[in-house]
Amino acid sequence: MASKNLSKDIEKIAPSTMADVVETRLREYLKRKAFKPGDALPKELELAEALDVSRNVVREALSRLRMLGMIESRKKRGMVLAEPDILGGFERVMDPLILDQNTLQDLFELRLVLEMGLADVLYTRMTDKDLKELEQIVGKEINKVQKPFKVKYEIAFHGKLYQMTGNETFMRFQNMLLPVFEYVVSEEAKINGEAKVGKVTHRDLLELLKTGGPEDFRQGMKEHLSPHFERMKR
């Protein structure tokens, strides 16, 4: 009987595919009907009936949207549309060990682009208090090449720069990118030896912030990051 092998000859539609479809359908529906944060969603059962799928599949799809912060449950009101966390999904997958090489390289470069681009926002927003705090961070740096220290100071210094932009999304984004950046640098070091360090130090960058303008700072940052830019050209 031909039908005996049918399940081998024709691929099953995986349950995941169904959740994918329902998830997409729900997002389209919310967008088309211009749902705004706070608006109540139809109940799970109603959605299942309208979509003609099982409640389990609807629950799966809703759970995905809940993870992204797009919906939340409110007492007595049921599910409502919420203001999503823009970086939540990004944060969850930002693990160097599971990202492919191309993506790691892309993120490495993305961080370079951000560092080179931040000067204008930085100069618009930074305060004297910020500069004092940055001074303290630079003061704590010891000229040791020991790896764990180096990374710690990198995070402290560059993290503070991003904080000084007053842009929270930007700051979080950078905090997620930095571990990937350090990972790429250290993997590279295993093959080609330790990366050289740019001539412009954190202290030099601080002085530029105090006395120079965005262009000076940018030139300093480019020199500070020059070993990484060199790496990119290879």
- Residues of span 10-39 touching a copy of itself by CB under 8 A: 11, 14, 16, 19-20, 23, 27, 31, 34-37
Considering only residues 88 through 127, tell me which ones interact with a copy of itself, judged by CB under 8 A.
88-90, 92-95, 97-100, 102-103, 106-107, 109-110, 112-121, 124
Measured from the CB atom, the residue of 19 and 208 that comes closer to a copy of itself is 19
- How many helices (DSSP H) and strands (DSSP E) are in the chain? 13, 2
Q: Which residues pair with 80 in a beta bridge?
A: 40, 72
Q: Should residue 208 be labelled a site residue for a copy of itself when binding is judged by CB under 8 A?
A: no
Considering only residues 46 through 65, tell me which ones interact with a copy of itself, judged by CB under 8 A.
56, 59-61, 63-64
How many residues at the interface with a copy of itself, by CB under 8 A?
74
Residue 54: count other Cβ atoms within 10 Å of its Cβ: 13
CA distance 139 to 206: 11
Considering only residues 128 through 167, tell me which ones interact with a copy of itself, judged by CB under 8 A.
165, 167
Contact segment (CB under 8 A) with a copy of itself among 9-17, 148-156, 185-193, 194-202 equals 9-17
Q: Should residue 189 be labelled a site residue for a copy of itself when binding is judged by CB under 8 A?
A: no
Six token digits for residue 118: 């931040």
